[in-house]
Amino acid sequence: MRIGELARLTGVSTRLLRYYEEQGLLRPARTAAGYREYGEEDTVRVWQIRSLLGAGLTTRVIAELLPCASGPVPVLEACPDLLATLRGELSDLDTRIEELSRSRRALSRYLATAHAPVADHAAGRAA
């Protein structure tokens, strides 16, 4: 199938499919005329990519994990370094969550200690 058909089947734009190819996530065959030619397995591969992206993984990490994936909602087999990669990603995510939580607490404190609401300032100018 051509790229337009893959885009229609997966709901992913042709532009994004080309990006996945640039990142090494898809490897379509080429016709003699240079057109991309995708197989049925590429439909599953796109669904795997979308699912892994939804988990917050980067395309670099996804490229490492795809050889270990099977099924449209990927089941990951125990490949070398798979657990270390996933644990590292989870640790990074935990660190980002902690940083965001600290930022949220600080913003909440600023909001709680703000003196006059904007509406009061506007009313004072009108008087």
Whether 8 and 68 share a structural domain: yes
Whether 36 and 23 share a structural domain: yes
Q: Which residues pair with 75 in a beta bridge?
A: 70
User: In terms of residue numbers, what domain contains 43?
Assistant: 1-78
Q: Closest Cα partner for 61 from 24, 34, 36?
A: 24
pLDDT value at residue 117: 63
Whether 35 and 95 share a structural domain: no
Whether 66 and 91 share a structural domain: no
Q: Closest Cα partner for 51 from 83, 33, 28, 25?
A: 25
Q: Is 35 left (phi over 0), alpha (psi -120 to 50) or beta?
A: beta
Read off φ and ψ for residue 24, nearest 5 degrees.
80, 15
pLDDT value at residue 60: 94
pLDDT value at residue 127: 54
pLDDT along the chain (127 residues), means of 10: 96 97 95 93 96 94 92 87 90 96 96 74 58
DSSP secondary structure, the chain, as one string: --HHHHHHHHT--HHHHHHHHHTTS---EE-TT--EE--HHHHHHHHHHHHHHHTT--HHHHHHHGGGEETTTTEEP--TTHHHHHHHHHHHHHHHHHHHHHHHHHHHHHHHH--S-HHHHHHHHH-
Whether 97 and 62 share a structural domain: no
For the entire predicted model, the pTM comes to: 0.76
Whether 32 and 5 share a structural domain: yes
Work out how many domains the chain is built from and give that number: 2
Whether 7 and 41 share a structural domain: yes
